[in-house]
Amino acid sequence: MGRDYSSASFATEACLMMSVGHVHPSAIVADGAAVGAGVRIGPFCTVGPDVVLEDGVELISHVAVEGRTRLGAGVKIFPFSTVGLAPQDLKYKGEDTETVIGARTQIREHCSIHRGTVTGSGVTRIGADCLLMAVVHVAHDCDIGDGVIISNNVVLGGHVEIGARAVLGGAAAVLQFVRIGTGAMVGGVSGVPSDVTPYTFVFGTRARLVGLNMVGLKRRGLEKGQLHTIRAAYRHIFCAPGVFKERVAEAEARYGGDPFVQEMLAFIANPGRQGLLTTTADAADDNEG
């Protein structure tokens, strides 16, 4: 069984366990902070009174963790990153909102992750086993799934949702309220104004569909027959002539038995606030490289 971090006695117990890890003399850990076993807090870090650091968390140096923030077991944060500070939202008036980071996620240098807002979900959430490379900004109320990789200098507007195992290339910018589906890939230096269907690949100054994220699908271990089915469904939905709604219905009838196609269709059937990215590049093709 894992440790019960919700228990009232955890903060007291955790203070006794701080010696199991290491807290640098220059670090400031506020009274009330809950610090698990084996936590390492490096030079000039600050940890606020409502923060929970689960077992094995490491703050390398010059890291600020504030607000009602929970860092899962084994999270590692590199210098000059901030987690759980107030959002850059003029409507925010100091409400008690939250930030949650999943286990084993790595947050590299100069990242900023802001807490949620009461006008949103109230929680900024990053899943387990994610990698945020240097200078990533995650705005308030974002919801990022497990295993997501976000490359250097990416900026996410407020309320962005990213599905599990998606990959965002360097310097991409995602408009607020956009959804990026499971297993999708966003190319570097791409502006993403609308939702990205699961398992697709988008690229461009104003992002356009390039094809499927075939590299990601192959890494899932899919057989050729299933890859061909997913490719056929994608091409029917986004590249065939005719009315989009009718093409979606036809693709469901022909290919809807495949679970990956089902996920794509379900995403399309539940549009978000920014609409769906359906514009394809002039030479739309699958991402093989």
Q: Which of 114, 140, 159, 236 is catalytic?
A: 140
Q: Which of 127, 158, 169, 183 is catalytic?
A: 158
Bridge partners, residue 280, by sequence = 209
Site of tokens 């019960």: 4
- In the residue annotation, 157 being an active-site residue is answered as no
Instruction: Give me the half-sphere count of Cα atoms (radius 13 Å) on the Cβ side of residue 206.
Output: 6
- In the residue annotation, 110 being an active-site residue is answered as no
Q: Which of 141, 195, 258, 286 is catalytic?
A: 141
- Closest to 95 in 3D by CA, of 86, 107, 103: 86
Here the tokens at position 127 are 């899943």
Mutual orientation of helices 244-255 and 259-269 as an angle, nearest 10°? 150
User: Which residues have a Cβ under 8 Å from the Cβ of 200 and sit 6 or more positions away?
Assistant: 181, 184, 185, 209, 210, 211, 212, 213, 234, 264
Here the tokens at position 272 are 């978000």
Task: Tell me the C-alpha distance between 116 and 216, whole Å.
Answer: 30
Centre a 10 Å sphere on the Cβ of residue 243 and count the other Cβ atoms it contains. 8
Centre a 10 Å sphere on the Cβ of residue 60 and count the other Cβ atoms it contains. 18
- In the residue annotation, 140 being an active-site residue is answered as yes
Q: Which residues does the annotation mark as catalytic?
A: 140-141, 158
